[in-house]
Amino acid sequence: MSICEFPDTQDKTPETPISLTKVGVTGVKKLLKIKREDKRPIILLPTFDAFVDLPSTQKGVHMSRNPEAISEIIDEAVNESEIHIETLCANLVKKLLEKHEYAKQAETEARGEYIVNKLSPVTHKKTQETTQIIARATAVKNDDGTISVKKMIGAEVVGMTVCPCAQESVIKESKSKLLEFLDEETTQRVIESVTFASHNQRGIGTILLEVSENQDVNVDDLIEIIQNSMSSPVCELLKRPDENKIVTNAHKNPVFVEDCVRNMVAGLLEKYPQLPDNSFVTIKQVNEESIHQHNAFAQKNASLGQLREETNWRN
């Protein structure tokens, strides 16, 4: 019995011969278990988007090849002793160019919730914190047949910020009231020993770091840098002593949204002196205001070389 051969309609010439920048699939979910030497494995349920470009001579892409490529890359990762999710994305874009011989470029993104185990600050209760990890990769097919790949790893972390401006106003007003019945020296000692109120924000910090294919960045480091940039990390499980510790520490470390971005820049430069100057980073902070209907926002886009030049940060 002969097998029917179906036509490749995608290979026909389109009625309107216009090339397309990105064609592919979005929202492909895959269960991923990443082994790590001497550490617990990471279980992720990332969502993949995968695209290639389309020449003007091609009616459509062979769409099934994209989820097929994702499945193949995931299956190959099972046998790896240690692999980063951005490396998976780098492998995927190369696989996409292999499967789509007519394509010159490929792009993919994976997003997933990443669980961080931690202890509450005083009672040391075990708790799990959820962060968002983001991985991307792009591949370009060169004229000589070689493929150039860039990959990116990032994290989005929730923390707490305290407004310095409002706190300074509270301190100034409190000092004037204290001086009504205390001398200057005693008033200053009170000011230095008391934690003063301010309005708080839920901060959302993001770092997206692009590196070459042969370089690896640990997403746990990025998460720590983001957490340390704000007034305080947050914790899902808190007893009263833990709450007091976080609130007190946060109000001892008030920061503007601009401070958070600058703190992340400093943390990156300190953590990754070995990364080359052409590594590109996007850093942003959103503070969800508590006394306004609007939010505060700050962002920095630059290469590490530009950041080192701007800050005179050279080892």
Query: Which pLDDT tens digit goes with each residue over 66-115?
Result: 999 999 998 888 766 667 889 999 999 999 999 999 999 999 999 999 98
Taking CA atoms, 41 is separated from 38, 81, 216, in Å, by: 9, 10, 18
Residue 145 in tokens: 């047949």
Question: Domains in the chain, ordered, with CATH?
Answer: 9-163+198-311 (3.10.270.10)
Q: Which residues contact 315 (CB under 8 A, 6 or more apart)?
A: 273
Tell me the DSSP string of 60-72.
---TTHHHHHHHH
Backbone angles phi, psi at 53, to 5 degrees: -85, 165
Q: Is the pLDDT of residue 117 over 90?
A: no
Stronger pLDDT, 1 or 174, i.e. the higher one: 174
Return the minimum-mean-pLDDT range out of 41-45, 53-57, 247-251: 41-45
List, for residues 132-180, the tens digit of each pLDDT value.
999 999 999 998 888 999 999 999 999 999 999 999 999 899 989 999 9
Residues 6+ apart with CB under 8 A from 58: 10, 11, 14, 102
Asked if residue 37 has pLDDT above 70, the reply is: no
